[in-house]
Amino acid sequence: MYRSSEKVATRTMATTSNKQAWITQLVTVLKKKYDPAVEASGGTRLVLDEMVFGILREGTTRELAEPAFHTLRTRFFDWNEIRVSQLDELEEALGCLPDATAKAKRILGLLQEIFETTFSFDLQSMDKKGIKQAGKQIARYQDVNDFVVAWVTQQALSGHALPLDLPSIRVLARLGLLDLAEAEEANREALRGSLENLVPKAKGPIFTESISLLARDTCFEEAPACENCVLRSECSHGQQQTASAPAQPRPKSR
């Protein structure tokens, strides 16, 4: 859910700042804070692996998605064994991942559809189709959404795409980089397209991961912890939040 007060702050920011300069600045600050965590992340998986990982990663962090993916790949013999498994087995394997039931259903649906259309789980030929064509083909699967298309494009196809899930949209709107009205109405592909024009391709992965970590650490949906945020001095929403926060009571003088 987005609040109307956030929309006002967001629009003000969007019309008064240079978004590209702001992105350069925030990537520098976030890179300093989060680079080690992002460096340790993956990005070397096959297309199908990243499709499944994208489903796991949407709406949460890599930190939570990695163990769930690892369990899937070690507890089950192969993708086909996962395909024929029961929903509750898969759900249990995803552990404490948020929305585990919905994600398990999507993974089962995706594997079934791939199996029915290709009779195998080898999607590496997509690599040779070109990034745009591969993205279109991935998007045809019913359990794939724009986040997963963008995730696979960025992580497995070496393309320029910025996967946007709800936590990322929330943070980017507060930072004045997305318009919440558009986030609610426009399709997600168009929304990320405007952002992809502003973020250099080489910075795409760290941008994606850093924004996700910012959502986890300080930019919560309810009551963001702006006072602890590394972007507070430049974030208009953060400044508005801290300015309107009630003053802390002072200790009584003796």
CB of 212 to ligand SF4, least distance (A): 12
Q: Does 19 bind ligand SF4 (CB under 6 A)?
A: no
Which of 138-146, 161-169, 204-212, 235-243 is the region at the interface with ligand SF4 (rule: CB under 6 A)?
235-243
Q: Does 226 bind ligand SF4 (CB under 6 A)?
A: yes
Which of 80-88, 185-193, 204-212, 232-240 is the region at the interface with ligand SF4 (rule: CB under 6 A)?
232-240
In SS3 terms, 35-78 reads as: HHHHHCCCCCCCHHHHHHHHHHHCCCCHHHHHHHHHHHHHHCCC
Helix/strand/coil percent split, the chain, to 5: 65, 0, 35
Q: Which residue has the tokens 């986890």?
A: 216
Q: Does 218 bind ligand SF4 (CB under 6 A)?
A: yes
Q: Which is nearer to ligand SF4, 145 or 212 (CB)?
A: 212
Q: Does 231 bind ligand SF4 (CB under 6 A)?
A: yes
Q: What CA dihedral angle connects 25, 26, 28 and 29, to 10 degrees?
A: 120
Q: Are 146 and 188 in contact (CB under 8 A)?
A: yes
Report 137-176 residues binding ligand SF4 (CB under 6 A): 171, 174-175
Which of 105-113, 176-184, 201-209, 228-236 is the region at the interface with ligand SF4 (rule: CB under 6 A)?
228-236
Sign of CA dihedral 57, 61, 64, 66: positive
Q: Does 238 bind ligand SF4 (CB under 6 A)?
A: yes
> Would you tell me how many other CB atoms lie within 10 Å of the CB of residue 91?
19
Q: Does 237 bind ligand SF4 (CB under 6 A)?
A: yes
Residues that bind ligand SF4 (CB under 6 A): 171, 174-175, 214, 218-219, 224, 226, 229, 231-232, 235, 237-238, 241
